Amino acid sequence: MEDKGKHPRQRDRLLALYIRDVMAEEVLDKPTENRIAKELRYKEMERWVELLRDPSNPETIDAAILENAKKTYVGEAVTAVQPALHRLREAAYREDENSALGQDYEQAMELALTVIVTLDKKRKLFTAVHDSLSAKSRLEELLHPDTIWYIDALECCIEQLKHRFIRANLRNVVKMAKRYDFGTLPLEDLIQEGNIGLMNAVDRFDHTRGYRFMTFASHWIRHAMRKTLAHRGQTVRIPARVIDDQYRIQSAVDRFELAHGRCPADHELAEILDMPLERLVRMREQPVIRVHSMDRPLPGHRTDRYIDILADDSSTCPHDSIMLKTWMREKERILNALTTIERAIVCWRFGLDGDNEMSLRQIGERCDLSKERIRQIQNVALKKLRLSFDG
């Protein structure tokens, strides 16, 4: 969305147009969300059915599924894939001898789909298997042409359904990005990262649990933005886990103050957050300090930077410069009433030239005179100065 080569004002205009288009998108109600989610899940299941039913190279397909499942996932669910696929192939072989697909095959297919869906929480396995088959050989050599055509058609339908889900919730990404716009990253970058989190949420959403899509997606959107802020938004990189804990602590404090009208104690906050008290105390005493760049733009002024409004420490304050010039001029006028030796002694004695004050003994050593003689000259000089002031 953002073009680094464009002028800041042009980027602001493009961002405004993007937000305007996003706010004009249709908002999905809960029944519509459930309907689209059901249709999306059905299309994804049909995609697996077509791949598993292809009779051309079942061994190659099963090997690709097992290989990519082990790469992506671990645990008991991975070990359950191979028996399910084995049972499916045995049922297909028996039914092929009878020239018909019966109940045993359908049960084996249902079991295989259940195992795969249970395993593939991210819903990325089919794409990985498809890419793996494409890398091994041309799909036309591994799959039946009708299977390839039908899978491509299902892919188009799936992308359209996901696209509708995403566009209907882009406005929520913009709203959440504005909450995290601390000036450390451009708002465009936060929106882009939030959109990536939104796409991950679409892949993981399960409508059967009964909650709205945005309730589920907000977690992934916030996670993407916080991760980006942790990695790119600070000069000193801080672990994302620490930043997440800081947000949790601050949110819990705000909720407690709103409910009870006072700031929570450490032990109360630790109980609310289910966090060890020692860790909570350490994080509250040492909050995360953001390091800001002086080259970052001012809020609302993309062409002006913070460094442009900072005072130059090496320069003299205009008021101090005027006062110094006035003092030097008045000092010269007053000291003109003294002789050279009297003027030097007064300046050394009282530090009028900007040096440290000197004692009578130090001045006597410098002028090769006694301490008492320096005192006499000083008193004469001070008497002349008083007379000049009185006159």
Task: Evaluate if residue 72 carries a pLDDT over 90.
Answer: no
What are the pLDDT digits (tens) for 160-170?
Answer: 999 998 999 99
Is residue 95 very low, low, confident or very high in pLDDT (cuts 50, 70, 90)? low
Provide the pLDDT for residue 158: 93
What pLDDT is recorded for position 292?
61
Average pLDDT for residues 147-173, to the nearest whole number? Answer: 92
Average pLDDT over residues 367-378: 88
Q: What is the 3-state secondary structure (H, E, C) of 316-328?
A: CCHHHHHHHHHHH
Task: Give the residue, 332 or 221, on which the prediction is more confident.
Answer: 221
Task: Specify whether the CB–CB gap between 125 and 131 falls below 8 A.
Answer: no
pLDDT at 166: 92
Range name among 83-97, 121-135, 322-336, 365-379 with the lowest pLDDT average: 83-97
In the chain, what percentage of residues exceed pLDDT 90?
14
- Give the Cα separation of 267 and 273 in Å (integer): 10
Bridge partners of 297, per DSSP, are: 305
How far apart are the C-alpha atoms of 154 and 18, rounded to whole Å?
Answer: 30
- Count of CA atoms in the C-beta half-sphere (13 A) of 342: 16
Domains defined along the chain, listed by start: 29-168 (no CATH), 179-285 (no CATH), 318-390 (1.10.10.10)
Range name among 96-105, 155-164, 308-317 with the lowest pLDDT average: 96-105
pLDDT, average across residues 289-309: 68
Lowest mean pLDDT segment, chosen from 17-21, 23-27, 72-76, 272-276: 72-76
Q: What is the DSSP string of 178-205?
A: HHT--SSS-HHHHHHHHHHHHHHHHHH-
For residue 105, is pLDDT > 90? no
Q: How far is the C-alpha of 353 from the C-alpha of 344, rounded, in Å?
A: 10
pLDDT for the residue 207: 85
Angstrom distance (rounded) from CA 359 to CA 349: 6
Distance of CA 286 to the CA centre of its chain: 20
Burial class (CB in 10 A: 0-12, 13-18, 19+), 391: exposed
Residue with tokens 């705000």: 254
Residue 151 CB neighbour total at 10 angstroms: 20
Residues belonging to the chain: 391
User: What is the DSSP code string of 127-161?
Assistant: HHHHHHHHHHS-HHHHS-HHHHHHHHHHHHHHHHH
Mean pLDDT of 136-142: 82
pLDDT (mean) for 139-143: 84
Tell me how crowded residue 277 is: count the other CB atoms within 10 A of its CB.
Answer: 12
Q: What is the pLDDT of residue 1?
A: 52
| pLDDT tops 70 at residue 203 | yes
Is pLDDT at 372 greater than 80 in this prediction?
yes
The contacts of residue 113 (CB under 8 Å, 6+ apart) are 45, 48, 49
- Summarised one tens digit per residue, pLDDT across range 332-342 is 888 888 888 88
- Does position 247 have pLDDT exceeding 80, yes or no? no
| Out of 54-63, 88-97, 382-391, least confident range | 88-97
Give the pLDDT of residue 288. 58
**What is the pLDDT, as a whole number, of residue 2?**
46
- Check residue 180 and give its pLDDT: 81
CB 113 within 8 A of CB 42: no
